[in-house]
A and B are shown apart, each in its own frame.
Chain A
Amino acid sequence: MQAGDVQAASGASDLARRYRVDRPVVADEFIAGELVVIHFDTGTYHGIRGSGVGVWQLLDAGLSLGELLAELAVRHSGVDAAAVAAVLEFVAGLERQRLIVPCADAGSIEVASGASRSGASRSGVSGSGVSGSGVSQGAPFVAPELDTRDDLRDFLVLDPIHDVDERGWPNATADA
């Protein structure tokens, strides 16, 4: 997808906008193929999967929305108008959940190294073989997923061994 196509697909979105992860009220870690995030003030727990992991890391590295979309188009095949819309909606979801906040300064942009200040670069409990990034060069685009669990208490009282399915906590069994 060309840069002009990205602009066209993004509609009226401000592609120059940049965000930062709202630390320290937000903490994150890359575990078991997904990014796990907690917002301490709202008490919500989130699991981020698919291209959402890469989007998070690129936002955290200081890329603007436009730069992020262009980078995704380089990294993935199949980044079409629907993919752009899905990414923008995902970013809007992150902002609604108060996980990211707009920022005025550019920050450091290190696309090549994939550098990120997030905990996503520290932990590598990954089944994908791609430790820390969740983004593989040339891999087909997978829509970003944001799995939000509002009532943390319900999930913390789950027995993390016996009340969960084969995917593990916080995925409860039907009768839990």
Chain B
Amino acid sequence: MLAAEVLALGPGLALTRSDQGLVRFFTCSDGAEALHSWRQWKREHPLDAASFAEMRMLPAAALRLVELGADDADLGRMQGLARYFWLWTQRATRASVESATALAERGVEVVALKGLALHALGAMSPVERPITDGDLLLSAGLEPVAGLLRSRGFRVQRRQAHAWTAARGEREEIDLHRFPLHQDRRSRQHTLASATGLPNAPWRVPSPADLVLHACLHGVRRTSSPGWVLDVRRIVARFPVDWSELVERARARRFALILCDTLRVVADVLPPAVLAALEGSPVTGLEALEYARIAAGSGPWHAAAGAAAHTLRGLRATHARLDDELMARAAQRGRLQWRHGWASEWQRVEPVRGGRDAGAQAAGLHTSELRAPELHASGAPALCAPAIDAPEPHA
């Protein structure tokens, strides 16, 4: 089956109907429509009941309300959240800079990920895109790195397969990554190899294609806010994404299905051939299982799908035919069991028309010349970013 056929079976998993409204508030060029979307979203998400993910978006929402010249009874508290998260971001960034500098001095390569990378590139400000910890991808093992950072006052607080969390003091937390994507361990080598250096910075940053891929795959979770959509739109508007590389990697690493579903949300800022290429990608049983796992969100089906996907990845190395047979049988039955767990609030995404950054393609942005399904890469020019002041070495 092709990705488009698989996606047609369900409402998609990228955004809830409510969050689509929040995205419209941020991206719609019609101020009245944007405010209407905001008020509707706020009715469904009162400030006093905001989740942590929602709280992190409210500084950007405050910026947008001021930009629109709009009143809101909660604007004062939202602006307070901007101060609060700015402070948190500064402390997390400071901790990240100190750690990365110390590691670089010891020959460890460091790549800043996610929000830290976006700040380093000047793509988004700490107010519009707060972070609560610094994400660092490392070229060395985590055990020696943790030992090195212990002398800087950091203590490992949590260990996961793809990253360890180290912290020091109030709001000084860093995530030390083995892999940028927990779903794909081979992503580590690619990100390290393709990262770009920055002047006067203790770290490199992922390629624009990697930034898009990471934002989409990290963002599409049930507990996530739609902030990843704003990240992707900003990345596409500011940097030359090698779309052919992104599509080829997505196909090779079995992310085409998820990537297609998420990029449909930002279709108005993409070269049309990108979605066409992803939609025309063949989907394996493994990929469908992992997609179903995300769609299920949580609970026994989520766990079962996850276990099955894990098993299949292990079996695939020696029994590649098993994957194809699974897919063939599912197709024969005419259905795939991923409707479980989907609540009624999920709705197929309608791309925002006439978005505020929809003109990115016409703005001299470098994009690959694409001919679906054969894609040709073009080189990406070097990224330029403001310098980051490293802290003075301790005496």
Seen from chain A, the residues whose Cβ lies within 8 Å of a Cβ on chain B are: 23-25, 27, 29, 31-33, 36, 38, 40, 45, 47, 122-127, 152-153, 156, 160-162, 164, 166-171
Query: In the assembly, what is the distance between CA of A59 and CA of B55, in Å?
Result: 34
Task: Decide: A170 and B84 in contact? CB cutoff 8 A.
Answer: yes
B residues 129-167 touching A (CB-CB < 8 Å): none
Most chain B beta-carbon contacts within 10 A, residue among A32, A38, A162, A166? A32
Instruction: Contacts A125-B66, A125-B79, A162-B48 given; indicate if A29 touches B86 (C-beta within 8 A).
Output: yes
Chain B contributes a number of interface residues (CB within 8 A of A) equal to: 35
Please give me the residue from chain B that is nearest to A122 by CB atom.
B125
- CB contacts (< 8 Å) of B347 on chain A: these are none
Task: Decide: B81 and A152 in contact? CB cutoff 8 A.
Answer: no
Q: Is the interface of B mostly helix, strand, loop or mixed?
A: helix
Task: Decide: B80 and A171 in contact? CB cutoff 8 A.
Answer: yes
Task: Decide: B87 and A32 in contact? CB cutoff 8 A.
Answer: no
Instruction: Contacts A23-B389, A152-B170 given; indicate if A31 touches B77 (C-beta within 8 A).
Output: no
Task: Decide: A169 and B84 in contact? CB cutoff 8 A.
Answer: yes
Chain B window 96-139, contacts with chain A (Cβ cutoff 8 Å), 1 for yes, 0 for no:
00000000000000000000000000000111100000000000
- CB contacts (< 8 Å) of B50 on chain A: these are 161
Query: In the assembly, what is the distance between CA of A48 and CA of B50, in Å?
Result: 28
Task: Decide: A125 and B127 in contact? CB cutoff 8 A.
Answer: yes
Task: Decide: A123 and B55 in contact? CB cutoff 8 A.
Answer: no
Min CB distance, B86 to chain A, in Å?
Answer: 5
Q: Is the interface of A mostly helix, strand, loop or mixed?
A: loop
Task: Decide: A169 and B127 in contact? CB cutoff 8 A.
Answer: no
Query: In the assembly, what is the distance between CA of A38 and CA of B82, in Å?
Result: 14
B198 CB–A CB distance under 8 Å: no
Query: In the assembly, what is the distance between CA of A23 and CA of B50, in Å?
Result: 35
Chain B window 237-273, contacts with chain A (Cβ cutoff 8 Å), 1 for yes, 0 for no:
0000000000000000000000000000000000000
Task: Decide: A161 and B55 in contact? CB cutoff 8 A.
Answer: yes
Task: Decide: A27 and B79 in contact? CB cutoff 8 A.
Answer: no
Query: In the assembly, what is the distance between CA of A20 and CA of B76, in Å?
Result: 31
Min CB distance, A151 to chain B, in Å?
Answer: 10
A-B contact pairs, 14 of them (CB 8 A): A24-B390, A25-B391, A32-B62, A32-B80, A36-B86, A123-B128, A124-B67, A125-B79, A164-B80, A166-B76, A167-B80, A168-B83, A169-B77, A169-B80
- CB contacts (< 8 Å) of A156 on chain B: these are 87-88, 170-171
Instruction: Contacts A36-B86, A127-B66, A153-B170 given; indicate if A168 touches B76 (C-beta within 8 A).
Output: yes
Instruction: Contacts A153-B170, A160-B55 given; indicate if A169 touches B81 (C-beta within 8 A).
Output: yes
B331 CB–A CB distance under 8 Å: no
Query: In the assembly, what is the distance between CA of A24 and CA of B48, in Å?
Result: 36
Min CB distance, A119 to chain B, in Å?
Answer: 8
